[in-house]
Amino acid sequence: MIRVPVCLVLLGAIGATTAPADAVAQTASSVDKKQVAKQYVDAGLAAQSAGDYDTAITFYSKAYDLVPHPTLLFNLAQAHRLAGRSAQALSLYKRYLSEDPNGPQARTARELVSEIEAHKADEARLAAAARKGDDARKADDARGARPQQVADRGPGGPGAEAPVIAPRDTASPDVVEPGRSQRIAGLATGAGGVAALAVGIGFGLHARSLANELSRDGAVYDPAKVRAGERANTIAIIGIAGGSALIAAGAVLYWRGYAQGRSTERISLAPILSQHAAGLVLSGALP
């Protein structure tokens, strides 16, 4: 089998296209945390759609650390529930209802709380029935039960135990190819990051052009240009930061999907950082 090396380089040209370093440093402090949190939420939703619930939980948690909005508690509860962790999901649903009882997802959260609690009650009843059956068998063994008594408690007999029915998994769709959905989600997320990065670079060039016009000898101070330059610089920073985050998220999703589908293949993900560029290198080999 011939193996062809593959190397995917995701770079963001930052240093050469943004405004001067001192201007960027002054504007970076004003970047709204909500913009960065939104990028984490978008990456979390993409991971959740791909079935990578642990990665979605990581992104939702990062967004909640920046902006502790109640809706993020609902998102975290959803990801834990889909991952099969009903206890954590129940706690998070209740936290969401406590903080935002009339929120947009309050009705859904209450229905899911009732469903999880009912399921837990059913499990408790089945466990109690199983323990009762075990106690009855032990009592019969201690008394030296006759064969007919034992047969009565066999399948279909008067003392037969209720069968344990495993809950139907409605969260895991049929998968034709392992890791395919994650790879598609990774490519889509990475494409969105490239688009955001391109927008940020474009506004960075515009901000630099305005700064050069204002710094020329004999140039007249124009407040409108100053405000336009600051706005363009802010958008450039948000676009580059958000685009880089989406590219990184897309690379992680694609890598996870590739690793799931090609468990025997070797693949690596490494960062690249220099004075004029930053990004990630995803490398591996295809059969």
Helix (H) or strand (E) holding 226: helix 223-261
Q: Domain 4-167+180-286 falls in which CATH fold?
A: 1.25.40
pLDDT at 11: 33
One digit per residue, the tens of pLDDT, for the chain of length 287 reads 444 343 333 333 334 344 444 444 444 443 588 889 999 999 999 999 999 999 999 999 999 999 999 999 999 999 999 999 999 999 999 999 999 999 999 999 999 999 999 998 998 899 988 888 888 888 888 887 555 554 455 555 555 554 544 444 444 444 456 677 877 887 888 788 888 888 889 888 888 887 877 777 666 667 777 788 788 889 989 979 888 888 888 788 887 877 776 654 455 555 554 444 455 555 554 44
In this prediction the pTM is 0.40
Supply the DSSP symbol for 220: P
Q: Where are the domains of the chain?
A: 4-167+180-286
